């Protein structure tokens, strides 16, 4: 599955949805942090506002020596209607980049 933002780390089995849940909960206390399931597996949904949210997935590939964190985002159709497609990408994109920076700081330092 291809994500909007992918954070490729050296293989680290301690990187899990639980650890990411705690990190994002501390870094974004104003956001609603939910664990959800889909056909693709378990993921986290971080809701910044009613309109903007991010989905975070984790996968490990011990054979190739990496852990991959995928970050995908969306806005509600109503938000796209209100703000237009340009602002849609700006609002969602900046939130996804904030999440990526927080996770990089947590796992790469």
Instruction: State the chain's mean pLDDT as an integer.
Output: 86
* Residues with Cβ within 8 Å of residue 104, at least 6 apart in sequence: 7
Dump pLDDT digits (tens) for 65-86: 999 999 998 777 777 777 766 6
**pTM for this predicted structure:** 0.83
Could you tell me the residue ranges of all domains in the chain? 5-108
Distance (Å, rounded) from C-alpha 55 to C-alpha 3? 9
Structurally, at CATH architecture level, domain 5-108 sits in 2-Layer Sandwich (3.30)
Containing 108, the helix (H) or strand (E) segment is helix 77-108
Nearest to 55 by CA among 82, 34, 83, 81: 34
CB 33 within 8 A of CB 24: yes
């Amino acid at each position: 599955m291809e994500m909007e933002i992918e954070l490729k780390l050296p293989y680290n089995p301690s990187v899990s949805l639980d650890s990411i849940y705690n990190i994002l909960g501390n870094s974004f206390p104003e956001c609603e942090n939910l664990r959800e399931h889909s056909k693709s597996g378990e993921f986290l949904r971080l809701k910044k506002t009613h309109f903007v949210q991010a989905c975070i997935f984790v996968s490990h590939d011990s054979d190739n020596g990496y852990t991959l964190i995928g970050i995908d985002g969306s806005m509600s159709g109503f938000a796209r209607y209100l703000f237009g497609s340009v602002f849609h990408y700006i609002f969602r994109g900046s939130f996804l980049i904030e999440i990526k920076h927080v996770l990089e700081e947590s796992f790469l330092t």
